[in-house]
Amino acid sequence: MTTTRTLIWTLMLSTTLTSPSYAFFKLGNQTEDLTSTIGKTLGLTASNSPLISQVAKQLPISGEQATGGVGALLSLAQNRLSDKNNNELNQLIPGMEHLSTLNQAGMKNGLSEINDMNAVVSAFKQLGLSPDMVSRFVPLILKYLNTQGASEGLMGSLSHLWQQ
């Protein structure tokens, strides 16, 4: 009986702490939560994502800030783009489908609440980035997506969506 209870508790704890359930717990400060949740969800870090490393190299920011900033802009895209454009974005950026799962789950730290550029700016502030940095991220992300073969429709939608 004790062995069975131990096994059940172990399974429950391991299930609770595995991805993506970690997103529902508030660990550390908001900046770390936002950055780590987005990074883990998308599998994006400066070391393993061409998009994140490109942003981190071209701007005077950390890899964590690059991850969080890109994630905030992509969250807005997931929340506001048409299904067709979301499907294309999911194909161009590995891990995007997981971000939409977190958005639908109403994750704390505002991923599901990033529905306009004011929310993106707020996320950037949480990351220690000034609001004007948004306008520096956008062309880098668009350039990356263009090199990945993004359609004109997606590029136009994102350009319009990400205007300040």
Given phi > 0 = left and psi -120 to 50 = alpha, else beta, which region is 129?
beta
**Would residue 140 count as lying in a domain?**
yes
**Would residue 23 count as lying in a domain?**
no
**Would residue 4 count as lying in a domain?**
no
Tens-digit pLDDT profile for residues 27-82: 344 545 555 555 555 554 445 678 888 999 999 999 888 888 988 899 899 889 99
Match 């994750």 to its residue by tokens. 107
Record the tokens describing residue 123, joined without a space. Answer: 């996320």
**Would residue 137 count as lying in a domain?**
yes
Residue span of the structural domain in which 58 resides = 34-163
**Would residue 25 count as lying in a domain?**
no
Residue 142, classified by CB atoms within 10 Å of its CB into exposed (0-12), middle (13-18) or buried (19+), is: middle
What's the pLDDT at 88? Answer: 94
**Would residue 157 count as lying in a domain?**
yes
Do residues 23 and 41 lie in contact, with contact meaning Cβ atoms separated by under 8 Å? yes
How many domains does one find in the chain?
1
Dist CA 81 CA 93 (whole Å): 15
Given phi > 0 = left and psi -120 to 50 = alpha, else beta, which region is 151?
beta
**Would residue 19 count as lying in a domain?**
no
Residues contacting residue 100 through CB under 8 Å, at least 6 positions apart = 78, 86, 90
Determine the average pLDDT of the residues in 75-94: 90
Dist CA 155 CA 164 (whole Å): 16
* Whole-structure pTM value: 0.70
**Would residue 56 count as lying in a domain?**
yes
Dist CA 79 CA 107 (whole Å): 13
